[in-house]
Amino acid sequence: MAVNFGGVAMKNPVNTASGTFGFGWQFADLMDVSALGAITTKGCAATPWPGNPAPRMTEVRGGMMNSVGLQNPGVEGFAAEAGPWLKELADTGTRVICQVAGHSTEEYVRALELFVELCPWASGFEINVSCPNLAAGGVACGSTPEGAAEVMRACRAVTERPLFVKMAPVRVPEIARVLEAEGANGLTLINSISGMAIDVETRRSKISRPTGGLSGPLCHPIAVRMVWEAARAVSIPICGVGGIMTGEDAAEFILAGATCVSVGMANLIEPDAATRILSELEAWARRQGVSDITELVGALEC
């Protein structure tokens, strides 16, 4: 079940999606976190962010919508609070990938510099280029090839450790090729899809903002398609994210070209979902008659 995700050697392909698993320790009494191949921690910026006002989450048919606004304690607060526990987790062989947030290229660079300095136990870093670029009127930093390239180029100069990019679900093949050219070690896709949920009685949004990020099973077929598109466009490995509720869901991503997968919304309704999905994924791989799950990466037959 071992895979290599862009230089991060994972004992199995199951990761957790940033923002759905806290900093890992929150789940320690609910499951064996060390059974997973990796966890990706909630995104942190160079300075603390308060996030958006409540309500910030709501259920929708087939999934959920959130507008948390990447609330976080800042890299220094994160390292002080969660660092000792995450180092112990890393010592068990479960890889820790830290997500980097920012509202501008300069903010990404500063946050990454702090991560590199304060988190020696991190196997790699995930750059969340879906953060809004405030200087550009709120457009996501990675929503254009030019914006994604600028962030990736600047971050690549900071560290030789593996860098992954959490991609927005827009212009995937084109932006994926740009990120590969600028030195990304791997891609994580997809991030949530923008949507709206309206309370028809109050005529107000069900969250504090007009729009939010859709995630969950309703996004799964879209995410599988985008992973397949990215895998055909680049040679670097991909982590598939989007509506994974079962081992079969994870297997779809593998067949579409993902080297590993991240469990997201399922963590919020079944705290030990990731370990169950890992067990189901391994059982599926055995049924396929292969000795190494990497034999199934991109094995879709059309």
Do the annotations mark residue 289 as ligand-binding? Answer: no
The CA distance from 155 to 59, in Å, is 35
Enumerate long-range contacts of 68-71, CB under 8 Å, 24 or more apart: 68/19, 70/19, 70/43, 70/45, 70/101, 70/128, 70/131
Query: How does residue 135 score in pLDDT terms, banded at 50, 70 and 90?
Result: low
DSSP-derived letter for residue 53 is P
Nearest to 64 by CA among 239, 206, 276: 206
Choosing from 131, 155, 239, 260, the catalytic residue is: 131
Do the annotations mark residue 242 as ligand-binding? Answer: yes
Q: Which residues contact 208 (CB under 8 A, 6 or more apart)?
A: 52, 53, 54, 55, 56, 67
Residue spans of the domains in the chain: they are: 3-296
Task: For 181-196, write each residue's pLDDT tens digit.
Answer: 999 999 999 999 999 9
Do the annotations mark residue 243 as ligand-binding? Answer: yes
In Å, what is the CA distance from 239 to each residue of 157, 212, 262? 23, 23, 7
Task: For 178-235, write each residue's pLDDT tens digit.
Answer: 999 999 999 999 999 999 999 999 999 999 999 999 999 999 999 999 999 999 999 9
Do the annotations mark residue 66 as ligand-binding? Answer: yes
User: Structure pTM?
Assistant: 0.96
Cβ(104)–Cβ(135) under 8 Å? yes
Top CATH class of 3-296 equals alpha beta
Do the annotations mark residue 18 as ligand-binding? Answer: yes
Do the annotations mark residue 166 as ligand-binding? Answer: yes
Do the annotations mark residue 127 as ligand-binding? Answer: no
Check pLDDT > 80 for residue 70: yes
Nearest to 236 by CA among 183, 274, 280, 197: 183
Task: For 260-287, write each residue's pLDDT tens digit.
Answer: 999 999 999 999 999 999 999 999 999 9
In Å, what is the CA distance from 231 to each residue of 10, 188, 227, 281? 19, 11, 6, 20
219 counts as catalytic = no
Tokens of 163: 């860098």
